[in-house]
Every structure is written in C-alpha cells, then in structure tokens.
Amino acid sequence: MTESRTPKENGVGHIFIDEEKLQDRVREMAAEISQDYRDKHPVIISVLKGAFYFVADITRLLTVPIHIDFLGIGQMPGVSRDTGIVRITKDLEISIARRHVIMVEDVIDTGLTLAYLLQNLTPRRPESLHVCVLLDNPRRRLVELPIKYRGFEAPDEFLVGYGLDYQEDYRHLPYIAHFETKS
C-alpha cells in the first residue's frame, strides 16, 4: 500500500487503545500463556517488524522459560495483497521440531499471510503451533487460523502505534490510534 502523501500531510487520529488498557491486556495474556505453558518451555516466534513491541512486552511478563526467534517477511509485488503470499526475508535460527510454538502477530485481517507462514512452519514438526495476536479483525477473515490468544478486536480502519506503522513512522507510540489521511 504505497501512497504519495508524506506523514506530515497525514495524522494520528483519536486513540483507539490507550497505554494503560493496552498494558493491562498484555499482562492478562502473559498470565494465560504462562499458565497454559507452565511445563512446556515454548518457542515464541515474532513476525517482524509490527509485533516487535508486543512480543517484547509480553515475553518480559511470562513466568515460564522460553526461547524467542523472529521471522521477517516481505511482500511480493503484485501478489501479496490478494493472495497473502509473501517471501520470507529472515528465517528462524532455532529448530521448532517437537517444540511448543506460539506465533505472535500484531494484526490479523484476512489471515492469508499468517496462514502462509503457518503452512511454512507445519512441516518443521512442532509439537503444537498456536497464534497470539494483539489485534484481530475477524470480519475480514478469509481462512481459519489456530488463534488461541486475542488482545483486542480491530476495527476496519488504519491504526498506528505500538509497532503498527504508516510508511515506517509511528511504531514508537505507546498507544494505538486511528490514522487519518487529511484531504
């Protein structure tokens, strides 16, 4: 999604989830994961870059031993938007064979990209493979996904902050806000 406008011509709109509510829900999710994986030593996989802040916060709150790894993805021009097919730009560095795996994502809309990534991970023989997502938009879902942990339901609007960006800007905001394009 490339636009010709610069960030100075666009702006952060009203706050969708403030910092306190965001951190409260992250704490709740970390407690759920800690309980569910208390004897399992899971591998947390974060999809770069959007989930970076979320995975950093949630993993610091976990009370179970974990390993963390990252997947980097890039769009395939003219293909990614309609199919969810992406190219992996950074693969895992640790083996997930016979390990309990939690894929951490920032936002799930259609689910096509995440389904593609899960399809890529399944042949690696994880013991279990679940999804933890900060923002879920089930109204746009085109495929079923094993979502075990959901932070918030997302609106059909563009959001920025807490890892979510507009042309690489606004990731650093400690809250999530609507992003408004000024006419």
Among 109, 94, 5, smallest CA distance to 46 is for: 94
Mark 62-100 as b/e (b = at least 16 C-beta within 10 Å). beeebeebbbebeeeeeebeeebebeeeeebeeebeebb
CB 65 within 8 A of CB 97: no
Q: For 55, what's the count of Cα atoms within 13 Å in the CB-facing half-sphere?
A: 25
Active site residue 69: no
CA distance readout (Å), 78 to 35, 83, 176: 42, 9, 29
- Which of 57, 106, 109, 165 does the annotation list as catalytic? 109
Residues serving a catalytic function are 109
